[in-house]
Amino acid sequence: MKKFFNSLVFKLIVAVILGLLVGLFSNEGIISIIITIKSILGQIIIFAVPLIIIGFIAPSIAKLKSNASKLLGYAVLIAYLSSVGAALFSAFAGYNIIPKLSIINSSEGLKKLPELIFKLDIPPIMSVMSALALSILVGLATAWTKSDLVEKLLIQFQNIVLSIVEKVIIPILPIFILTTFASLSYEGSITSQLPIFIKVIVIVLIGHFIWLTVLYSIGGFISKENPINVIKKYGLAYLTAVGTMSSAATLPVALTCAKSCPELREDIVDFSIPLCANIHLCGSVLTEVFFVMTVSQVLYGELPKVSTMLIFIILLGIFAIGAPGVPGGTVMASLGLITGVLGFTEAGTALMLTIFALQDSFGTACNVTGDGAIALMLTGIANKKKL
C-alpha cells in the first residue's frame, strides 16, 4: 500500500482531483498565478522533447548491430508491424466509436482565462522532425561504421536523458497536471467530460485483449503450436506488469514464464524476450492512438484527419522501438509527435499524459504478454529456416 501511495499514478490522481477542485473555487487572481506556473512547466517539458527523441531513438538504432543474429531483423520487423497494426486497429476503432460517445465540443461557452503574470520562453534546441531525422541518421551511421566510441557516447547520452526524465520531468508532472486541470476546470471544459474518459479506458482495455488474440493466433499459425498453452503461462507476467507498469521491471518474471513454455525454444526466449521488452510496445501504442483521438475531440472539437493520423502512426511505431521500458516510456518518447504532428497545445499534452499514466499498467501488461506471441512467431521462423 505504501508503494502505491508513492507511485506516479497515485500522485497524478491526487493532482487531477486537486486541480479540478482548485479550478472550481478559484478567482481570476489565483488562476492567473496557476496558468503562469503551468506555462513555465510546459516550457520545460517541451524543451526536453528533442533531447528525449535523440536520447531514446539514436542509441536504440546504433545498438541493433550488437545483437548479431539473423533473427534480429525478423524480431524488429515483427515488433514494428505489431505496434503499427495495433495503432491502425485503434485508429479505425476511434473513427467509428468516438463520434458515438456524445462528446460535446468544449471550445464553446468557456470562461475566458486571465492573462499570464509573466511569460518565460524556453525554446527547444531544434524542431521535432529535425531531432527525429538526426536520431535516425546518426544511429544508422553509427551502426554502419561500427563506431564503438560513438555508440558508447550515445548510450551515455541516453542515460543522461533518462536521468532528466526521472529527476526533472516526472517530478514536475503532477504539478503540471494539477495546474492544467485547474485551468480546464476554471474554463469549464473538462468536468463534463470525465465520464467519457472512463468509457474510453474500458474500450482500450477491450482493445488490448482483441490485439493479443490476433498476435497469438498469428503466432500459433506460424509455429504450428497451440498458442493457448503459452497464454496460460503468461498470467503471472501480466499481473506483475500491472503492478510494476514497467516492461523492464517485469522482465525477470516474463523470462520465467516464457521458459516454462515447451512450445518456445529456450534460445529464442533468451534472445527475444529481453529485446521485445524494449522494442515491442503494442499495448501502449494502441492506447496512445485512441487517447489522442479522444483528447482531440474533447479539447479541439474534432478528430485528427486520417492523413495526419497515418503519419502519426508510422512515426509512432519508430518511436515505440526507441522508447525505454519504464513507466510512461512510450508517451514520453512520442511527446514530439503529439505536439509536432497532431499540434496539441499544453492543455492537450497534459491531458494526454494524465489519462495515459492512469492506465499505463494495463498497456504494459499487454506489451509484456504480446512478447510471448512474438517469441512463438520467432520459434516457428527459426525452426523452418533451421536457424
Q: Where are the domains of the chain?
A: 1-385
Contact 212, 370 (CB under 8 A): yes
Cα 331 from Cα 353, distance rounded (Å) = 7
- Torsion angle, alpha carbons of 376, 381, 382, 385, to 10: 160
Please count the residues of the chain: 387
Tens digits of residue pLDDT in 163-216: 887 788 778 878 887 887 787 777 765 656 667 778 888 899 999 999 999 999
pLDDT at 329 over 70: no
Three-state secondary-structure class, residue 188? coil
Average pLDDT for 112-141: 78
Average pLDDT for 344-363: 77
Query: What's the topology of domain 1-385?
Result: Proton glutamate symport protein (1.10.3860)
The pLDDT score that the predictor gives to residue 7 is: 66
Question: Which of the listed ranges 52-61, 66-75, 217-226, 338-347 does the model predict with the highest average pLDDT?
Answer: 217-226
The pLDDT score that the predictor gives to residue 218 is: 92
The pLDDT score that the predictor gives to residue 65 is: 59
The three cell numbers locating residue 48: 526536453
Average pLDDT for 67-96: 83
The pLDDT score that the predictor gives to residue 325 is: 52
The three cell numbers locating residue 257: 514464464
The three cell numbers locating residue 299: 479539447
Tens digits of residue pLDDT in 87-100: 999 999 999 998 88
The pLDDT score that the predictor gives to residue 212 is: 93
Average pLDDT, the chain: 80
The pLDDT score that the predictor gives to residue 209 is: 93
Contact 327, 248 (CB under 8 A): no
Q: Which of 41-50, 93-102, 320-329, 361-370 has the lowest mean pLDDT?
A: 320-329
The pLDDT score that the predictor gives to residue 68 is: 43
The pLDDT score that the predictor gives to residue 244 is: 59
Which residue matches cell numbers 504539478? Answer: 175
The pLDDT score that the predictor gives to residue 67 is: 45
Contact 50, 126 (CB under 8 A): yes
Categorize the per-residue pLDDT at 86 as very low, low, confident or very high, splitting at 50, 70 and 90.
Answer: very high
Beta-carbon contacts of 215 under 8 Å, excluding residues fewer than 6 positions away, are 82, 282, 370, 373, 374
DSSP characters over 15-56: HHHHHHHHHHH--HHHHHHHHHHHHHHHHHHHHHHHHHHHHH
Which residue matches cell numbers 523470462? Answer: 255
